[in-house]
Amino acid sequence: MFYYFKRAVSDIVSNRFLNAITIVTIALSILVVSTFALFFQNASRIIDSWNRGLRVMAYLEADFSRSDLAGLKEEILTSGSVKNITFISKEQALDLLKKEMSTRRAFLESLEENPLPDALEIQLKASVKRWETINDIAGRIRNLALVSGVEYGEKWLGRFVTVFYFFRITGYAVSSLFFMIALFITANTVRLSIYSRREEVEIMRLVGATDRFIATPFYIEGFLQGIIGGSLGLLLLFAVYLALSSGIEASTSLGLFFDVHFLSPGYGITIILFSAFLGWLGCYLSLKQFLKV
């Protein structure tokens, strides 16, 4: 095995240009695939988090009084999908707005009267995940007598989910395309390497070397190309991740909504193993045309 490994490394060094092209191609392919994986992992985590703690804001009519609160809560709780209801008075809402908009505090202090309505923050149960169910609950709350309006981010959140599923389909298509490109280049690199050593391979056959003995260094070479290319692709992605995450952390508003995590160790190991398999498969397809392995 040490001989096979040494021979594979020697082949990589002696054909630096061809192997560099293969490694860079695999790295770019893994970069694309892992980028989509990073997006899917974080988007799924964010969507699950929203689903577990989805809140509906119900804004109350101007003639609402505290004596109506108990009856209104009871009506909302009849849906059976509500976990918790919190009353937010117009005074509390204005104080929160002043804290969040500290740069506009002078303008808010100049207001003669509070323009904000009383509101109810309604937290739905974690079991409520279907958009149809959420829309139905929000519609019933909107139709209550003392409710003037309902807000739960249905427009932008719905668009985000739509974009998420669109990117999932696009990710599968683009990843498959880059997989085929990397596979094609890897196979052709091995094919060119075999052509350059064709006489050597024929001599080895004449002296009794088996096809497996001849092919094993090429398999190790493809395996190493895959590991190096996969690791390089993940390093490039990590560099991009650090740049983006530092930008998000610098922006307080974005940091409140997006807590981006890098790929988990399990994801990283899976991607590198996939990359190694990609290099091996390219060698196998190329060697199959020349050797009986």
Q: Tell whether the torsion through CA atoms of 86, 87, 91 and 93 is positive or negative.
A: positive
Q: For 55-151, CATH number?
A: 3.30.70.3040
Q: Tell whether the torsion through CA atoms of 43, 273, 222 and 287 is positive or negative.
A: negative
Query: For residues 137 and 160, what is the distance between their CA atoms, to the nearest angstrom?
Result: 21
Average pLDDT over residues 65-89: 83
Percent of the chain scoring above 90 in pLDDT? 3
pLDDT score, position 290: 67
Query: For residues 125 and 235, what is the distance between their CA atoms, to the nearest angstrom?
Result: 40
pLDDT score, position 293: 46
For residue 101, name the pLDDT band (cuts at 50, 70, 90): low
Q: Higher pLDDT residue, 193 or 265?
A: 265
Q: Which amino acid is at 213?
A: F
Out of 1-5, 17-21, 152-156, 235-239, least confident range:
152-156
Average pLDDT over residues 95-121: 68
Residue 210: helix, strand or coil by DSSP?
coil
pLDDT score, position 235: 93
Q: Is the pLDDT of residue 257 over 60?
A: no
Q: What is the pLDDT of residues 33-47, one digit of tens each?
A: 888 888 777 777 766
**Count of CB atoms situated within 10 Å of the CB of 172:** 11
Q: Higher pLDDT residue, 172 or 238?
A: 238
Query: For residues 262 and 242, what is the distance between their CA atoms, to the nearest angstrom?
Result: 9
pLDDT score, position 107: 56
Residue 184: helix, strand or coil by DSSP?
helix
Q: Map tokens 């990283």 to a residue.
A: 268
Percent of the chain scoring above 70 in pLDDT? 76
For residue 232, name the pLDDT band (cuts at 50, 70, 90): very high
- Rounded to two decimals, the pTM is 0.59
For residue 143, name the pLDDT band (cuts at 50, 70, 90): confident
pLDDT score, position 92: 81
Please report, for the chain, the start and end positions of each structural domain, with discontinuous segments joined by +.
Answer: 2-49+164-287, 55-151
Out of 10-14, 18-22, 102-106, 171-175, least confident range:
102-106
